[in-house]
Amino acid sequence: MATVREEGKIMMGKTFISSGVIAAAALLAGCGAENASTDATADGQPGAVSLKPVVTHEADPMAGRTLFVEKGCVICHSVNGVGGKAAPALDAQIGAPPVDPLEFAARMWRGAPAMIELQSIELGYTIYLTADDISNLAAFAADREAQKALTIDDLPETIRSGLLDERFWEMEDWDDYLRQGQEGDFPEQIEEPVEDND
């Protein structure tokens, strides 16, 4: 049989857990609130919650093919054997899931430090892409037929002569660059002085 003191501990534990559950529920209820609206009933009282529509973009693989060349992606990436070798090939895979522009953008984000560095070196500037551009590039990266249509003859001579024939970095350096966002040695961490409390 539990003593009063033990019951108090048990009760405090239950209260703490209940409070935690309530706090978590409130936090989750707030997630996505910016995409939700409350419809009022006829008497002005809050009614059902409805989600705001999400913006989607039309994905045109042929427009993506044009961008792949015009924006200079082809200098470093290859498709259908056409393009540079400095960065991973973007050949569409057989049986791959439908194109997901957000996943494509996330992959670009992970490679952004290296791409920005290479663009600065090879182009002299960094390219600008809109949401529609990324959606179209994603569609091209997932469309085998659009990729098969790309030939070396589609590349202007200025781009063709600038294709990078080898990886820019050794593989281990590339992986470090993608992880760290910079190449080369990293400065030593400065240690904080230890205070003497004697």
Q: Which token pair is 52? A: 């705001």
pLDDT band for 176, please (50, 70, 90 cuts): low
Contact status, residue 154 vs residue 85, Cβ threshold 8 Å: no
Least confident piece of the model among 2-6, 98-102, 121-125: 2-6
Please calculate the CA angle 167-170-175 and round it to the nearest 5 degrees. 100
Determine the average pLDDT of the residues in 19-38: 44
With 90 as the cut, is the pLDDT of residue 170 above it? no
Give the pLDDT score at 93.
86
| CA pseudo-torsion sign 71, 73, 76, 81 | negative
- Token representation of residue 130: 């809109």
pLDDT tens, residue by residue, 89-117: 899 988 888 888 899 899 899 888 888 98
pLDDT tens figures, 60-91? 999 999 999 999 999 999 999 999 998 888 99
What pLDDT score was predicted for residue 121? 87
Closest CA to 78 of 123, 16, 140: 140
Choice between 30 and 41, residue whose per-residue pLDDT is larger:
41
* Nearest alpha-carbon partner for 174 in 130, 123, 118: 118
**If you average pLDDT over residues 124-137, what whole number do you get?**
94
The Cα 90–Cα 137 span in angstroms is 10
Which residue ranges make up each domain of the chain? 61-180
What amino acid occupies position 49? V
